[in-house]
């Protein structure tokens, strides 16, 4: 199979605060380990996004100031992103990127920022820095146990029909109350978790790669199994730490 996967890294300069690069590296290494090259295309603010030429889309988290700039730009790309999600394109939106994938974001002053509505959800910032949700998180997800680290001020509430990414076992999750974490629509995943997310959760990484390959080739794909002992040791250790410290 001579395929090259093309990963779009949206706002790689503006939204890269929490080790988002780790997610790119994990996709790249695990793709290359199967003999499938993976090219990274960086798309910045005011640059054209052409999803028809991409197989996976990634967007990370940014500083508050950057997030405002990005929100305006993302609005112009929203329609295309929504259509691609509905057509089954695999995506991962982390933290700030995840918030902007919702319907709206209400900041501490009550000002509203319109999101692109990939996920049916609203995020509200309760104000202040004191009550941020910070810490290690363990989730139950359709991919099995997922581990990561959250650091967010905003509280996200999913709409009635909106599926979460997972259920919180340890940590705060979307809003500290309903035990949901993240959101999922078809092959698009939104989450607050970094850590980075993909290196320590190879099943999620392989899900994104698998979906990308199936869409690209139009065939059922079974990814070659890899030696994941190092990945799983890091996963287990992170879970241990999450369980021991709140």
Question: Which residues are tagged catalytic?
Answer: 95, 194
Residues 135-194 that bind another protein (CB under 8 A): 135-136, 149, 151, 194
Taking CB under 8 A as the binding criterion, the range among 79-87, 203-211, 215-223, 235-243 that sits at the site for another protein is 235-243
Binding mask 196-225 for another protein (x = CB under 8 A): x--xx-------------------------
Nearer to another protein, 120 or 228 (CB): 228
Closest separation in Å from C-beta 118 to another protein: 23
Size of the site for another protein (CB under 8 A): 36
Closest separation in Å from C-beta 203 to another protein: 15
Residues 18-77 that bind another protein (CB under 8 A): 18-22, 25-26, 29, 63-66
Question: Would strands 121-124 and 133-141 be described as parallel, antiparallel, or unpaired?
Answer: unpaired
| 109 near another protein, rule: CB under 8 A | no
Taking CB under 8 A as the binding criterion, the range among 34-42, 115-123, 182-190, 233-241 that sits at the site for another protein is 233-241
Closest separation in Å from C-beta 192 to another protein: 12
Which two three-digit tokens encode residue 101? 């994938």
User: Which stretches of the chain bind another protein, using CB under 8 A?
Assistant: 13-14, 16-22, 25-26, 29, 63-66, 129, 134-136, 149, 151, 194-196, 199-200, 230-231, 233-234, 236-238, 241, 245
């Amino acid at each position: 199979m001579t395929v090259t996967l093309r990963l779009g890294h949206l706002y790689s300069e503006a939204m890269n605060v929490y080790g988002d690069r780790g997610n790119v590296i994990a996709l790249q290494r695990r793709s290359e380990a199967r003999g499938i090259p993976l090219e990274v295309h960086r798309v910045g603010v005011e640059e054209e996004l052409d999803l028809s030429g991409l197989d996976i889309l990634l967007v990370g988290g940014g500083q508050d100031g950057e997030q405002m700039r990005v929100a305006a730009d993302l609005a112009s790309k929203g329609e295309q992103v929504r259509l691609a999600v509905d057509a089954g394109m695999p995506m991962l939106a982390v933290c700030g990127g995840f918030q902007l994938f919702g319907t709206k974001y209400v900041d501490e002053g009550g000002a509203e920022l319109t999101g692109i509505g990939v996920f049916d959800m609203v995020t509200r910032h309760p104000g202040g820095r004191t009550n941020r949700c910070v810490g290690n998180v363990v989730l139950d997800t359709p991919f099995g146990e997922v581990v990561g680290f959250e650091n967010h001020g905003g509280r996200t509430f999913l709409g009635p029909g909106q599926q979460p990414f997972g259920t919180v076992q340890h940590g705060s999750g979307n809003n500290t109350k309903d035990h949901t974490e993240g959101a999922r629509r078809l092959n698009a995943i939104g989450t607050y978790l970094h850590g980075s997310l993909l290196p320590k959760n190879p099943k999620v990484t392989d899900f994104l790669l698998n979906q990308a390959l199936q869409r690209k080739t139009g065939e059922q794909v079974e990814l070659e199994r890899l030696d994941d002992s190092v990945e799983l040791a890091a996963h287990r250790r992170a879970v241990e730490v999450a369980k021991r410290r709140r």
